[in-house]
Chain A
Amino acid sequence: GAGVSQSPSNKVTEKGKDVELRCDPISGHTALYWYRQSLGQGLEFLIYFQGNSAPDKSGLPSDRFSAERTGGSVSTLTIQRTQQEDSAVYLCASSLRILNTEAFFGQGTRLTVV
């Protein structure tokens, strides 16, 4: 596709349920990032995938959060047993891995835990 695609755009879930957020990066981009953005806060790094290397999970806030990237393309962020504090916009970005090139972001998934 022309840009980074995320789905769903909005997700409302009950506390305690599991959710899956999907990111389809720009074709050919080897780096993929997940960030979280809460109201009035900056972008909080969650996890980073680069090619076939082991992902950098240093930003995941708890073991309820996990992510995978299949075939070096589509990525899924899973949040288990959701809590109200998980409510935020989850942003995915991808970039070419030639030096430190710019990242292109999707429109985000707005997650609301009720």
Chain B
Amino acid sequence: EDQVTQSPEALRLQEGESSSLNCSYTVSGLRGLFWYRQDPGKGPEFLFTLYSAGEEKEKERLKATLTKKESFLHITAPKPEDSATYLCAVDVTGGSYIPTFGRGTSLIVHP
């Protein structure tokens, strides 16, 4: 069974304190891995897609990386406005393009 596990469940950082969120996956074959950000009361907002091991993508203070077993979302010098839940999802080869989501990591950045 395909599985997506995110850790930690919750993370509290001080403003400027860099850290990483983890998304580990056990799938038969990866077609793509997605990162989303979700603010309270809103739908998830797309951040990145990664397709193959070794790939990296960046956007402002966020950098996503991918290996054959996991992805990391690195947050450099976070600001309070980076506080949100970050969701990881995988699209599996041979499937019908239905992303499977992890439970997310709730990030709080204190000023």
- Whether A associates with B in a native complex is yes
Chain A: CB-nearest residue to B100: A45
The listed residue (B32, B45, B46, B104) touching A100 by CB distance below 8 A is B32
Give the docked Cα–Cα distance between A23 and B36 (Å): 20
Question: Number of A residues contacting the other chain (C-beta, 8 Å)?
Answer: 26
CB distance from B100 to the nearest CB of A (A): 7
Interface: A106 (CB within 8 A):
yes
The answer to whether B49 touches A102, judged by C-beta atoms less than 8 angstroms apart, is yes
CA distance A31 to B101 in the complex (A): 17
Residues of B within 8 A of A (CB): 31-32, 34, 36, 41-46, 49, 87, 89, 91, 96-104
**What residues of chain A have their CB less than 8 Å away from a CB belonging to chain B?**
4, 31, 33, 35, 40-43, 45, 48, 50, 56, 59, 91, 93, 97, 99-108
